[in-house]
Amino acid sequence: MIRSVVQGCGAYLPERVVTNAELAQRMETSDEWIQQRTGIRQRHIAADGEFTSHLATKAADAALKRAGMAAADLDLIVLATATPDETFPATATRVQAELGMTRGAAFDVQAVCAGFVYGVSVADSLLKNGIAGTALVIGAETFSRILDWEDRGTCVLFGDGAGAMILKAEDGQGTSADRGILANVIHSDGRQHDILYVDGGPSSTQSTGLLRMEGKEVFKHAVVNMAQVVGEVLGKAGLAAGDIDWLVPHQANKRIIDGTGRKLGLPAERVVVTVDRHANTSAASIPLALDVAVGDGRIKRGDVVVVEGIGGGLAWGASAIRW
């Protein structure tokens, strides 16, 4: 049986850090309000002229280095983003050119905060079907460009960044028999469009638009769907919650993360949290958190890692991976 086995991951955050205190100088908010409601202390914001493709390329470079691979080894780039450089072509093709990858295929996946899980699911399928041998999955966003900086209820929640993971198709009969992606689950419910969306786009308004959200509604769906989808992916992989070494949730809000962990009965030490430093970076948040937990030695080869995310659409999903 072919398995998509993780070869390495990497990340990049823009240099500029904006603290809650700095935001409080610009608008009616406070460090206390933001921390209490979300757990966020700071976020990274891309510089003028720094685009999603730039962040993505730097994260991809870091992942290639970790994996001991070159761009020429890649057959596929799947870039999850809701903030592409341009309406078309796919930002993934810019990254392909930047990396110096002259063959294979590159395309974007749009599932907002669930984008990384969707990207992993798509890449895993293409690897298992023999369409590609090695895939780079990236989550990269510049949400600062689609925020309404006059709306304190949303603009304090998000940040910019990118994370990447390299997957390679390996024969399960080989040395890494147990490793790789064990199961994926993806869902969406288009009836929930109005609780989280961007009020513009090329076809509707010929402009980019800004993010609009009914926070309380999103919160309710997030806690219920996240615990449910983790249970579903564990069932598909033949595992139980007690088998999870690391839960790496989409980093939207500490209260959503804590609620999901509690519903699953997981000790807090098993849940990777980076929302305090990165805020919500949408599709980038899971690979950014993976990079932190691999970098500091928490996630080790052979560990069972479950990633899960939910975002606009609503779209949500989870993957179970033996690292």
Contact 174, 168 (CB under 8 A): no
Rg (CA), the chain: 18
Stretch that binds ligand ACO, among 6-14, 48-56, 70-78, 211-219 (CB under 6 A): 211-219
**Position with the least CB separation from ligand ACO:** 215
At position 84, the amino acid (one-letter code) is P
250 is catalytic: yes
**SS3 assignment, position 113:** helix
184 is catalytic: no
Beta strands in the chain (DSSP E): 2-12, 16-19, 42-45, 76-80, 105-109, 134-142, 160-171, 180-188, 196-198, 211-213, 246-249, 304-311, 315-322
Q: How far is the CB of 305 from ligand ACO (least distance, A)?
A: 20
Q: Which CB sits closer to ligand ACO, 8 or 312?
A: 312
Contact 254, 39 (CB under 8 A): yes
At position 89, the amino acid (one-letter code) is P
Residue numbers 294-313 binding ligand ACO by CB under 6 A = 310-311
Both tokens of 114, joined, read 């669930």
Check residue 312 and give left, alpha or beta (phi > 0: left; psi -120 to 50: alpha): beta
Q: How far is the CB of 181 from ligand ACO (least distance, A)?
A: 23
Q: Which CB sits closer to ligand ACO, 37 or 298?
A: 37
Closest among 46, 148, 47, 138 to 101, alpha carbons compared: 138
Q: How far is the CB of 36 from ligand ACO (least distance, A)?
A: 9
Q: Which CB sits closer to ligand ACO, 59 or 213?
A: 213
Residue numbers 11-40 binding ligand ACO by CB under 6 A = 29, 33-34, 37-38
Q: Does 156 bind ligand ACO (CB under 6 A)?
A: yes
Closest among 163, 183, 222, 224 to 319, alpha carbons compared: 183
Q: How far is the CB of 65 from ligand ACO (least distance, A)?
A: 29
Q: How far is the CB of 151 from ligand ACO (least distance, A)?
A: 8
Catalytic residue among 113, 184, 253, 278: 113
In the DSSP assignment, the letter for residue 14 is: -
Size of the site for ligand ACO (CB under 6 A): 23
The set of catalytic residues is 113, 250, 280
Q: Could you list the residues that contact ligand ACO (CB under 6 A)?
A: 29, 33-34, 37-38, 113, 152-153, 156-157, 196, 213, 215-216, 218-219, 222, 250, 252-253, 280, 310-311
